[in-house]
Structure 1
Amino acid sequence: MPIPADARFWLARALGLWRRGWASLRTRGLRASWARLRAQFARRPAPTTVLWRPEPTPFAPFALATSGQPRASVVIPVHGAFPHTLACLRALAAHPPAVPFEVIVVDDASPDDTLARLGQVAGVRVHARATNGGFIAACNEGAALARGDWLVFLNNDTVPQPGWLDALLRTFDTQTDVGLVGAQLVYPDGRLQEAGGVVFADGAGWNYGRGEDPADCRYAYLRDADYLSGAAIALPRTLFERLGGFDMRYAPAYYEDTDLAFAVRAAGLRTLFQPAAVVAHDEGGTAGTDLASGPKAAQARNQAVFAAKWADALARQLPAGTLPTPARLHRDRPQVLLIDALTPQPDRDSGSVRLVNLMRLLRDEGAHVVFLPANRSADGAYTQALQALGIECWHAPWAPGIPAWLRAHGPRFHAAMVSRHYVASEVFPLLRRHAPQARLLFDTVDLHFLRERRAAELAGDAAALRAADATRARELALIGMADATFVVSDVERALLAREAPGARVRVLSNLHVLPAPGPGRAGRRDLLFVGGFRHPPNVDAVRWFVEAVFPRVRAALPGIGFHCIGGDVPPAIAALAGIDGVHVHGHVPDLRPWLDGCVAAVAPLRYGAGVKGKVNEAMAHGLPVVGTPAAVEGMHLVDGHDVLVGADAEAFAAAIARLHGDADLWTRLARHGRDNVARHFSLDAARDVVRETFLAR
């Protein structure tokens, strides 16, 4: 009787863990293997919302650090309820945004002493209305007084959290075609109030995520939303003016924010929910919550007004009564699932850079991207960085075991890509069962069996060679199961043409966004190596370079230094820092000082597979590279034109000395290296492959 797919997953996971553990013990030793195991299965806690609130002390005059030349104008309409307004203003005073801002408080004929007390808050522009006109009239009048490039509407019964405004406005810089951005609204007790709004076909609204945990994977990523609550929204002032402000047909209030979102989209712009902008909102603190009387009574009446105005647009919305889910919210775009062993850490390894830039490219091409790490662990700032790109990231505790998660989510995907053979071995049968409609893609990252075989041949290790053959069998089996397989170089594609004839193999190489080039040759000194030391070829490369190459370099260039940068430094590499001129830095989040200050990057790899991110990264910054044949394999590089190549220690050292002493050669290599990255390793270079394999119908 065949084994069910779910049971096969757990069996494959156990066998895969045993194989990788044994291989790691052989190549890394017990200590490093144990650290790797702990990292693989660590359950990092998901981020939780800890709210800041001002102390409820009696009122006394204070000041806001506003600007006479604001970039953002924060408009706060008020009608009585001064304790709410006081808490809001105290929050702005205690944690002022980094962007220059002004605060315009529109007093809508408050029945209490609000107006008098506002006069004692320095840095606030107060506009007093003679008669009460309601929320819409107050907001429109405040907007007419604004001087900033952005208009920000903020309810007075809110406590904006530190960084909220900068996060809202940053969205306009990091995303394209953005017209309106709304904050994550939370209740004072930290529960989610709204992660953007959903509008149904009858015009009714739904506060997505109400009452849930803000860290829940369904709500924690940047997302297009049907509407954003006017309690905390931002948009360009010129756009608000062009749209005619809040529509007065909804006066005094309610549905004006929903109407604005529909108008923004009708103008061809996006309306986005930004979870990084957190605002605590005491919902109903000023208008109440009774839909039958008072200001809230207009909500039911205005639904009919809104539905009549936007009848054509509403025909494309979810039917009334539908339960909003991520699958349904992104129903208008192809949904693509990416699975890798861990959450990518692009400041630590080149494979992560490639994966994150693939996500960017997929989003640019109109796909909605879902990421699931095989260890189901949230990884702090790395997970949050993906969510800030608009990636729907899943992790424990909201993602149960992978079989259960795929049962629930599998039917939504147009394509699913799994990276690394040991992850794909576990997941492919589940995907075939629970997502049979999805195009199944295997990302080798690099051909593991090729790297293992080369390492075994270099070491003369017969047991390791047999292990490489076993890896080959597993990788070829997965290639046979997949609808398409990705390799990172033409060298690996040619190899698979022999090893797996008939398989559909495409090159999806390293992906880089070219930064501005670094400075020229003058003033540079020293050599740079970058590479994480969880990767055994990097350990071998640095030891060989320091022991065999660097003494020859120092003999030719006395005083030159070698900077070794990369995380997870083992004792054998740390010990090299005792050698004169060798500097072992460990992990460095920002490489720019070394990329701008060193005269060359070295890639002394004696074995490996795939395309080397350390080479791409240096070239992208305009830093010439000296490498071994293994380091530049499959990268379209020509010795003497794009790169210098040394096959042994003597040739490698001679290449470094030659580059160091020839400024014209240095300049040519810097220019040609950047050109090479742009031609072969940019997002544009991969666009056609991504369209064909992930998105074609």
Structure 2
Amino acid sequence: MPSTAPTRVLIIGYVWPEPRSSAAGGHMMQIIESFLQQGWHITFSSPAGIGEHKADLAALGIDEVSIELNNSSFDAFISQLAPHIVLFDRFMMQEQFGWRVELHCPDALRVLETSDLQSLRDARQQQLKARLKHNPDLDDFSDLFAPAPRETFEQMAATDLAQREIAAIYRSDLSLMISEYEIDLLVEQFHVPANVLHACPLMVEAVPATYVPYEQRQHFLSIGNFRHAPNWDAVLWMKTSIWPLIRQQLPMAQLHIYGAYTPPKATALHNPAQGFHVLNWAEDALAVMSNARVCLAPLRFGAGIKGKIADAMLCGTPNVTTPVGAEGMHGEMPWAGAIAQSASAIAAAAVELYRNPSAWHQAQLNGRALLAQRYLHSVHGPALVQRIEACRAQLDAHRRNNFTGAMLRHHQHKSTQYMSQWIEAKNRLVPA
């Protein structure tokens, strides 16, 4: 008789998920929900401390286990759990725990949740820093926003971060990619086999039937975790360049900026006289988004796809962003607002959407169409499960077809294993 025991999933989290603080936390919860719908038994583990806004996993029937880095206690834990699937949240967790998982549960499918390509984000950040150092008053970033794919590859390829991250992708049986742009970059420039990648975007349960009307909305809104460097850079750009241009045309305009983990350097920018309000964490981000008239997301660097923009579309709130903000989100479909490449163009587009009900409503319709076509959980959740099950059914053949990954696992596991064991032995010798 075939076993009727549920599939056991172990998630090794870089942090405990905070879906109301970051898009990464929201995406993790969407993945978890897809697994729960299959009746799979989930254990979530992490070496991180508990954050302020952690999701209540226990209420969903998920076991929570704190684990330690460089500690053989994990070996006993995973051997006893004997998961069928192990999901690493971010490549750093694959680096830390991948060799232990393979050693003690060699038949478990190893899945990497990339969240976004951190090496892409970092390369773009370094390029922006260099440009601002050379020309701090630059307004137009069109050349930064549209490099050729080969140029992007060359910016990333020599970096330690890219080599670590893409090696972790190779070492995994399947990597979840949130952005189609990043899949194309990996396949076409880094020559990663397409069969180890799976497109898994942000997901929404349904497209709302109604929204708060244009006439009942007011103010501009920007939202994002302040610990995320692209969000902080966007706040600075709004403060110094974009918002003054908007206030020139709309002298009474107000901008409300929400973000988890607001640092003193952000609250120092709070200036009600300028209509620039730094308001810390939003208890209900969708509520404040639903009552705003226009969402500003002027991201000068970043990667993946943007949770704040998906939330704006979900709330029927047109947005103004950059090519980096819109990257991988709309394909050939019309955008849910405006995409601009300079402070002056962003400000002009924002004012137009704020003042023009016809343009505003069309942007809202575009957002509805994008959600329905590209982001429904009822489409992407089952597709994710189906892909995982297909890999599990042919795991030996799947791994044979990824010889580069096997080779990297062999060499990385030896070096990581010995380094980890050395650190553990050293920790035992050093008094607490």
Distance 1:466 1:491 in 2: 15
Distance 2:52 2:350 in 1: 40
The answer to whether structure 1 residue 408 and structure 2 residue 80 are counterparts is: yes
Residues 550-629 of structure 1 aligned to structure 2 (within 5 Å) = 550-578=243-271, 580-629=274-323
Confirm or deny that 1:393 pairs with 2:64.
Answer: yes
Aligned to 1:349: 22
Q: 1:405 to 1:378 in 2, by over 3 A?
A: farther
TM-score normalised to structure 2 length? 0.78
**Is structure 2 residue 214 aligned with structure 1 residue 501?**
no
Q: Which residue of 2 aligns with 1:636?
A: 330
Matched residue type, 1:619? M
Write the letter of the residue equivalent to 1:502: P
SS state of the match for residue 66, structure 2? coil
Aligned positions of 1:255-404 closer than 5 A:
332-375=5-48, 377=49, 382=54, 385-395=56-66, 401-404=73-76
Whether 2:319 is the aligned partner of 1:648: answer no
The alpha-carbon distance between structure 1 residues 637 and 552, as it changes in their structure 2 partners (threshold 3 A), is: farther
Structure with greater Cα Rg: 1
Residues 286 and 311, structure 2, Cα contact 8 Å, conserved in 1: no
**Take 1:555 and 1:441, find their aligned partners in 2: how far apart are those partners?**
50
Give how far 1:677 is off. Answer: 2.1
Larger RCO, structure (CA 8 Å, separation 6 or more): 2
**3-state SS in 1 of match to 2:302:** coil
With over 3 angstroms needed to count, the CA separation of the structure-2 counterparts of 1:457 and 1:380, relative to structure 1, is closer
Question: Structure 1: which 5+ runs fail to align?
Answer: 1-314, 317-329
1:362 to partner: Cα distance: 1.1
Structure-2 separation of matches of 1:479 and 1:405: 24
Greater share of residues in helix:
2
Partner of 1:476: 166
Structure 1 position 513 matched with structure 2 position 186? no
RMSD of Structure 2 on Structure 1 (CA):
2.6
Matched, 1:439 2:130: no
Q: SS of 1:441's equivalent?
A: strand
Q: Report the CA distance between 1:591 and its aligned residue.
A: 2.3
Q: Distance in 2 between matches of 1:350 and 1:619?
A: 14
| Gap change, CA 1:593 and 1:584, over 3 Å in 2 | same
Q: SS where residue 528 of structure 1 aligns? A: strand
State how far apart, in whole Å, the 2-side matches of 1:638 and 1:656 are.
22
**Aligned counterparts of 1:531 and 1:664: Cα–Cα separation in 2:** 28
Q: Tell me by how many angstroms 1:642 deviates.
A: 2.4
Give the superposition deviation at 1:408.
2.2
Identity of aligned residues (%): 26
1:680 is displaced (CA, Å) by: 1.7
**Equivalent residue number for residue 20 of structure 1:** none
Question: Following the alignment from structure 1 to structure 2, what is the Cα–Cα distance between the partners of residues 556 and 475?
Answer: 45
Could you tell me which runs of 5 or more consecutive residues in structure 2 were left unpaired when the two chains were aligned: 134-154, 394-432
Using structure 1 for the length normalisation, give the TM-score: 0.49
Residues of 1 paired with 2:317 and 2:156: CA distance? 39
Q: Which has a greater percent of strand? A: 1
For 1:515 and 1:639, locate their aligned partners in 2 and report how far apart those are by CA, in whole Å: 17
Check if 1:695 corresponds to 2:389.
yes
Q: Report the Cα distance in structure 1 between the residues aligned to 2:379 and 2:276, rounded to whole angstroms.
A: 37
Distance 1:577 1:492, change over 3 A: same
- Cα distance change of structure 1 residues 664 and 381 upon mapping to structure 2, 3 Å threshold: closer
1: CA distance between counterparts of 2:65 and 2:352?
A: 50
TM-superposed CA distance for 1:598, in Å, is 1.2
Change (3 A) 1:467 1:542: farther
Q: 1:663 aligns with which of 357, 366, 378?
A: 357
- 1:514 to 1:444, Cα distance in 2 relative to 1, 3 A: same
CA–CA distance in 1 between the matches of 2:300 and 2:333? Answer: 17
